[in-house]
Amino acid sequence: MLSDLGHDYNSDFVIDLSEVDIRLAKIKIHKAPGPDGISKNWLLLDFSQLLCHPLAAIFNASIREGFFPAICKSADIMAIRL
């Protein structure tokens, strides 16, 4: 059991390029815009095949290094009155 402590589990987990492409291709374009008020979902959908390579590299580097950028953890939340 103690021998497992030296194993780097992050190197076993890899996000596949095709999985990123599939997820990007399923993005719904009629969702709420980002904090700047501009919806960029159509951009992700239209350019999914071009963006899947760099996004998969970024995701895998984040997993490999064990670091998740703080900017990706932030969100703007707005209450909606019905």
Residue 23's pLDDT is 92
Residue 54's pLDDT is 93
Cβ neighbours for 53, distance < 8 A, ≥ 6 positions apart? 17
Mean pLDDT for 54-60 is: 90
Looking at residue 77, its amino acid is I
Residue 7's pLDDT is 55
Q: How many domains does the chain have?
A: 1
Q: Is 60 inside a domain boundary?
A: yes
Mean pLDDT for 56-72 is: 84
Expressed in angstroms, the distance from the first to the final Cα of the chain is: 55
Q: Is 42 inside a domain boundary?
A: yes
Q: Is 38 inside a domain boundary?
A: yes
Q: Is 81 inside a domain boundary?
A: no
pLDDT tens-digit map of 5-48: 455 555 677 889 999 999 998 988 888 777 777 778 888 889 99
Q: Is 2 inside a domain boundary?
A: no
pTM beyond cutoff 0.85: no
- Domain range for residue 63? 14-67
**Residue 24, Cβ neighbours under 10 Å: how many?**
19
